[in-house]
Structure 1
Amino acid sequence: MTSVTPVTPRHREDAQATRDILDPATTAVIATVPEHTAADVHAAVARAKTAFDTGPWPAMVRSERAKLLLRIADAIEANSERLFRLETRNNGRPITETRAQLSRVPEWFRYNAGLLAAQRNAVLPGDGPYLTYQRRQPLGVCGIITPFNHPMLILARSLSAALANGNTVVVKPSELTPLTTLALAEILAETGVPDGVVNVVTGGREAGVALTEHPDVAKITLTGGTEAGRSASVATAARFARMTAELGGKTPVVVFDDVDPVTAAEGAAFAAFIAAGQSCVAGSRFLVQRGIYDKFVDRLAARAKNIRVGDPSESGTQMGPVISARQRDKIVALIRTGADEGARLAAGGPPELPDHLAEGFFVAPTVFADATMDMAVAREEIFGPVAVVVPFDAEADAVAMANDNLYGLGAGVWTTDVARAHRVADAIVAGMVWVNDHHRLEPSLPWGGVKESGIGKDAGTESFDDFSWVKTIVVRTSDSSVDWYGASAETRLN
């Protein structure tokens, strides 16, 4: 495990199990990291608890903690070239995407530093000679479990808020993409984060379960699949720990016939195919009004066919591989299912690749047209570059179809009618709704879904506040004695 230091083996006589980390574009081994066990997680939590109970971090003056968060942001910026190239190699996103995304990571540290510096404690109204006020206290040890698709960005959202509030942290990145998390741990150490405040464990399910079940972990923030979130929720509920979970999604994008179909289709391509569709809010089912349906499908299919799939390290590449053979095979199986169910394949098929990428985990951008809402491709989360287009007639039909799903993380609406935009955005059951855009994020925007897309919020003041607990303090300001049993009722009330 690491404690803002490079990975070190456990002090055991038996050999430390390890895991090879692959480049998903070539399947080459690019690193080997420890496969940490439950015992390693327990040691990391113990270290974080000691740092919280006896270390300087929770007691640090708020302005000093805020300054350190700002230094962390500056250090991430200074290392951005190394970080985005490392993330591209580890998770296969084109370098243009990782450069754009990681360039925004410092914003989360600066935002939460600002919230910390501006934080006020409430004074509460009440009757009688009392001053009642509140103070926020750090939770203690917080566990952060991050996914493979946006390792640095998703970690920064929770880590910056946890640290701002004075908590200590144990991070378990995806077993497939730990490299930028380990690099960030080194940056934190160099920036001056005290030892034991941030700890990283690498490994798979055993490490994740041990972290969610540990009795000394006061909060878990998890981004992952719905079943993993369900298990973690049960574990945290058993000890009344806090839980924030961003889980699955099947994002509906409603396209009305008052928009230009070419503009909407180009926006749809961005919604569906960025990160090779490996995003919980990727536009995956497009509900398109019949008046522009054919033109929209034609343009989206043409755009999909022209996306340059290839080596993610090359600047001209527009889509890289998916993360693993397992994920690729799942996506391909669902594509076959869509064809078997009767959806029309408007774009897709095996991607054309150079020899050195022949073993990589690539899936071509795929568009299914003429789908219906009872098809698996229109209902199940695919988590790959697959867009499913379903026609609709009336606004009410579109809203009903958008909400006809287990998930409720994100949604999109394309229309030039201002009243309709607000009306439909309000009617769709989702934690985030974009109008005439997609994937737009800011540190101030609360992020999280409803239904089986999870609970709680990342980012925004909601996330910042949830990494602390509120203590209410009541101070009696009267100089009269307190003699409940000997005094009159009038005296007791004063």
Structure 2
Amino acid sequence: MSASVPLTDIRDFKLHIAGEWQTGTGERRQVRSPATGTLIATVTEATDHDVAAACDAAAAAFPAWAATDTAERARLLRGLARIIAERMDGLAELESAVTGRPIREMRAQMGRIPEWLDYFAGIILGLEGEANRVKGGFLTYTQYRPYGVCALLTPWNHPVLILVKKLAAALAAGNTLVIKPSELAPVSPLLIAQWAREAGLPAGAVNVVTGGATAGAALVNNPQVARIDLTGGTTTGKRVAAAAAERLVPCTLELGGKTPVVIFADSQLDEAVAGALFSAFVAAGQTCVSGSRFLVEDSIYPQFIAKLTERVKRLKIGDPALPDTDIGPVISAASRDRCFAFIAETKADGARLLVGGERPALSSNLSDGFFVPPTVFADVTPKMRLFRDEVFGPVVSVTPFRDEEHALALANDSDFALGAAIWSRDIIRAHRVAGKIRAGVTWINDHHKNDPRSIWGGYDMSGYGKENGWDALKSYLTKSSVVVRTEAQFSDWFAGGHRYG
């Protein structure tokens, strides 16, 4: 595919199996713009047969790929990084059209995608085992091996970023892949598979099957899949975890969140408001670490909600293809309806609506889009559903707190433990609170910053396992121990030898 993605042309995408475009045996599924309803592409609804073929291709490619020298794997990953960098503008346009995220957001995100491939290409060269002489005249050393066929199930909100985070670590470790992207954003992973072939990765190293829950279930239950990595909702994560447990297959599960953002009175208020705006409404609130529960010290509570309201009113809702658009649509009619159901229920609960809450008036070409205005409720209590449940849309709550103890009690009053943020100029307190808040990723005086070196993942209802860093690379490898006798004489236990263990 050329550097420019022809968005004006409807493309009929096939499955990508064994390094080739393959027709598949399922029905066609339409991919439409959530902003306009325009048909962007069609893809195949993969059947059990198609998924099995992809797993067979990955299994056939695994021995040679696993045996490839790490320096060669690193070279090929860097080649893929360069291809993505060259085609970044077209990829950003495609992602914006499919997901509804504003083009300005997508260009910024796409600019960092190659970093993950370069990072894991680098650290795989530094993977080392250990060796020790131990009691009884033995030498022990450790070795790493890839698992084999890995199933990557990726979401619609960051189709390329989250895929590449997983793919880079898994391929660097020597695994082969079968990817099942979300049925709502399935196109870019197919392109990444094709570009991996162009970069020189062997046929079958990267396979993509498109479809919905049926294809996903077939993949996680395929007997050739040796490891599973899912980013998705908590309900889906529970199903995948159960299927993996049945075969004792290891998983990484990055699931839902209900991120608390704790704002102390000593924070720089305008900075904290700007950070709140970004954390709540980037990607129209459709991120797993979206700032959705703002906990504000009562002495600055009135000023905070006034400033936040004023900033939210200035956000521009509209066509995601325009560079001055701040807020695009949510991904689907179901997402839109869920957001408005939260709004109606929170009004009924007695919370104070500060801004938003009504369907926006937009131009006629956007009349079929799934738009939800950025919406802020004040005086939300822990008993309200908006405080407790994930919306996955641009609807957030603000709640006052008295002191540090009260702030922590509110922040930790959740079944989720993925992200959190703390705003304070008292760095001692900020670190102290970070040590007590329940989250796998905590930001101090910022939000949603991500890097290949910074581990990512939560616990409890937010799942388990880690992305990024050495933790991610090693999670795609099994570690074993080899024990070597170095004594000349063997101790024959049943002939009177006395060494055991």
Q: TM-score range by the shorter chain?
A: over 0.9
Return the alpha-carbon distance in structure 2 between the equivalents of residues 232 and 123 of structure 1: 37
Match of 1:298 in 2: 306
Match of 1:76 in 2: 84
One-letter amino acid of the counterpart of residue 244, structure 1 = T
Q: Given that residues 255 and 415 in structure 1 are in contact (C-alpha distance below 8 angstroms), is that contact kept between their aligned partners in structure 2? A: yes
Return the alpha-carbon distance in structure 1 between the equivalents of residues 323 and 478 of structure 2: 46
Provide Cα deviations, 1:241-298, integer angstroms capped at 9, x if missing partner: 0110011100000111112322211110001000000001000010001110011001
RMSD: 1.4
Question: Is 1:396 aligned to residue 405 of structure 2?
Answer: yes
1:93-108 aligned at under 5 Å gives the runs 93-108=101-116
Within the candidate set 210, 213, 220, 1:205 is matched to 213
Cα shift at 1:482: 4.4
Identity, in percent, stands at 46
Return the alpha-carbon distance in structure 2 between the equivalents of residues 172 and 160 of structure 1: 16
Return the alpha-carbon distance in structure 2 between the equivalents of residues 38 and 338 of structure 1: 42
1:377-416 aligned at under 5 Å gives the runs 377-416=386-425
Match of 2:439 in 1: 430
Return the alpha-carbon distance in structure 2 between the equivalents of residues 302 and 219 of structure 1: 48
Alignment partner of 2:17: what SS?
coil
Return the alpha-carbon distance in structure 2 between the equivalents of residues 76 and 268 of structure 1: 31
One-letter amino acid of the counterpart of residue 450, structure 1 = Y
Question: Is 1:352 aligned to residue 366 of structure 2?
Answer: no
Gaps of 5+ in 1: none
Return the alpha-carbon distance in structure 1 between the equivalents of residues 426 and 18 of structure 2: 51
- In the superposition, relative to structure 1, how do residues 87 and 6 fare at CA in structure 2: closer, same or farther (>3 Å)? farther
Q: Given that residues 262 and 295 in structure 1 are in contact (C-alpha distance below 8 angstroms), is that contact kept between their aligned partners in structure 2? A: no
* Aligned residue pair count: 486
Provide Cα deviations, 1:14-37, integer angstroms capped at 9, x if missing partner: xx4010001111011110000112
- In the superposition, relative to structure 1, how do residues 175 and 352 fare at CA in structure 2: closer, same or farther (>3 Å)? same
Return the alpha-carbon distance in structure 1 between the equivalents of residues 241 and 212 of structure 2: 18
Question: Is 1:275 aligned to residue 289 of structure 2?
Answer: no
Cα shift at 1:5: 4.6
Question: Is 1:471 aligned to residue 480 of structure 2?
Answer: yes
Alignment partner of 1:172: what SS?
strand
Within the candidate set 44, 47, 72, 1:34 is matched to 44
Match of 1:58 in 2: 66
- In the superposition, relative to structure 1, how do residues 493 and 392 fare at CA in structure 2: closer, same or farther (>3 Å)? closer
Return the alpha-carbon distance in structure 2 between the equivalents of residues 382 and 293 of structure 1: 23
Q: Given that residues 269 and 304 in structure 2 are in contact (C-alpha distance below 8 angstroms), is that contact kept between their aligned partners in structure 1? A: yes
One-letter amino acid of the counterpart of residue 159, structure 1 = L
Provide Cα deviations, 1:416-475, integer angstroms capped at 9, x if missing partner: 111110111111011001011000101011111011000111111111101010121111
Match of 2:249 in 1: 241
Return the alpha-carbon distance in structure 2 between the equivalents of residues 42 and 184 of structure 1: 21
Return the alpha-carbon distance in structure 1 between the equivalents of residues 339 and 393 of structure 2: 6
One-letter amino acid of the counterpart of residue 428, structure 1 = I
Cα shift at 1:124: 3.1
- What is the TM-score normalised by the length of structure 2? 0.95
Alignment partner of 2:134: what SS?
coil
Q: Given that residues 407 and 452 in structure 1 are in contact (C-alpha distance below 8 angstroms), is that contact kept between their aligned partners in structure 2? A: yes
Cα shift at 1:189: 0.9
**Structure 1 runs of 4+ with >3 Å offset:** 4-7, 481-489
- What is the TM-score normalised by the length of structure 1? 0.96
Provide Cα deviations, 1:55-111, integer angstroms capped at 9, x if missing partner: x21110111111111111111111111111110111011111111111111111111
